[in-house]
Amino acid sequence: RFLKSLTEQDQTLPLNNVANIMKSVLPDGTKISKDAKQLMQECCSELISFITSEATEIVSMDKRKTVMGDDIITSLDSLGFENYGEIMRIYLQKYKEFQLLKQLAINLIEEENPD
């Protein structure tokens, strides 16, 4: 429903971002054709839509409205991307720990410098 109202450009990752990621994993000096960049852009966008659609199903079955990181991980697992799911579990845990530490630091600074 929502995707149909978006333009094609709104549904894809920026081509420069895709190209930069591709360049970051290739040997220096490797050239990437425009059609290779565009194909990768389309593949990435399709994969994101595929995983998000699965996560939306999970959220709907749980009678929730918000897709959470754990829903994305469950989707990766159920779609056969268990290796990525495991990596994302680690990343999500570290992200949550970082957010907690950041909030603790903010609270500490605010306590030391009341205005």
Return the pLDDT at 50.
95
pTM over 0.85: no
* Three-class DSSP labels, 22-88: HHHHCCCCCCCCHHHHHHHHHHHHHHHHHHHHHHHHHHHHCCCCCCCHHHHHHHHHHCCCHHHHHHH
pLDDT band at 3 (very low <50, low <70, confident <90, very high): low
Task: Looking at the structure, give the CATH architecture of the domain made up of residues 2-112.
Answer: Orthogonal Bundle (1.10)
- Mean pLDDT, residues 7-29: 89
**Rounded to whole angstroms, how far apart are CA atoms 18 and 13?**
7
Return the pLDDT at 4.
59
Over residues 75-98, the pLDDT tens digits come to 999 999 999 999 999 999 999 999
Structure tokens at 86: 């495991």
Helix (H) or strand (E) holding 68: none
